[in-house]
Structure 1
Amino acid sequence: MSDFDRNAQVWGAGRAQQTSAVEMDQGLRSFMLGVYNNMSIGLAITGLMAIGISMLAIAGYSPSGKVTALTPLGQALYLSPLKWVVMLAPLAFIFFFSFKAESMSSSTARAMFFAFAAVMGISLSSIFVVFTGESIAKVFFITAASFAGLSLFGYTTKKSLSGIGSFLIMGLIGLVIASVVNIFLASSALSFAISVIGVLVFAGLTAWDTQRLKEMYLYSDMDSESAAKLSVNGALSLYLNFVNMFQMLLSLFGSKQE
């Protein structure tokens, strides 16, 4: 009888652990789905805003598809000093997120993220003046496929990617500094190097951020509000990796208007 009781207790404990593991797995899947949903909505807002603004900013095309004239809005956004405000506005949002992330509620953070995505769309609308629509679409799908594979790798790999995190952050800081310097130098060689290194850095960050978010959910004791906030912050991180990788790939493989 005692053996039966002991076996029953072991079986019951194993079942409880199994149930807990199943619930944890379901919670993780739900959490990551929320991250990707927020990110996808942000990308959709950015894309629609970029296309919409470009349609309002461009007044005419040549038979070959080259932009030949801008509307007053286009001239203000791309040729006047206002272009610097448009270029730097997304960076201002990032700094705001960095300082206010802890104090914001998840709903406020989500609203701010979507507002940031809209501002980023305005900033990215200029690519339709420089590159052909066909090459923009091609590079977007290349980026999407690459991002999906890298994020899946980060989610499923058993190898810890924490060791490359600091290296990638240092690479990111170097890219920012080099990009600022190149604004004044306008060096095509430096621009090419920034794009190549940038693709590698943001590819690594995509896998690293995915694993980081997974581990933060699994090993942190969070309530629903904290998990929702992490979902938004995680979506922002992956969104930035996607957008930056897209821009780097576009500068490398995009076809400029002739």
Structure 2
Amino acid sequence: MQLTINIRKKLEESANGYFEKAKKARKKIEGARIVIKKFNGQLEELERKQQIEEEKITERKEKTPLEWYEKFRWFITSEGFLCIGGRDSTTNEVIVKKHADPTDVIFHTEMPGSPFFVIKTNGKTPNETSLQEAADATTLFSRAWKLGLGTAEVYCVKPEQVSKKAPSGEYLTKGAFMISGKRTYFTGTVNAAVGKLDNGKIMCGPQNAIKTNCKEFSLIAEGKDKPSDCAKKIAKHLKADVDDVLRVLPAGTCKII
């Protein structure tokens, strides 16, 4: 390192000048170190946040395998009973014919275009709360939603009362059944929520059942928003996959309340 000395100045004066310059340079270096340290800290924080987001995305992509009942409408009552319902005439037929056991309870509305819902009792007796929730779900996923109705008349029967035997000269279309014997009636209400179970599955059903089974949920109602738009908002709130939410929403427009 070479230093230029002004011969017109005293040696001491020149030395002091270089000393002051050295002090200023040292301060600049220290300042630069502080800035670099701060920048590195911010960079580490950004990398940490990015890693967290990537882990969340990975977690969402690692979906749990679909259960057999997820091809249908389904929810779990606040009492813990699994309820399954038809999405169309084909699944209505499948549910009643293949998945309604003798001790189960079958629900249907009086209006056309209604799903059949079945409470899977496993030999136990559901209480009034579960029965009402099943009636509400039958209403929720019926045409009552699209028509903007608040209630619908729903009845329940035993599986033995449901058959494909049409009266002489008549024909039962796919998904339609003859009901015989006494019916128990309920006033089904259109109230709905979408929630996330502890196992990560997304469930849609009556609000009481969703609130009981899910820590995180969104209340929904018939509205003017596209199902896809609602699904995106709900998925963001529940940290869930949009397709999983969209699959469980009632058919028709909706809104978050």
* TM-score, length of structure 2 as denominator length: 0.35
Whichever structure has more helix as a proportion of its residues is: 1
- Report the structure, 1 or 2, having the larger strand content: 2
Q: Radius of gyration: which is bigger?
A: 2
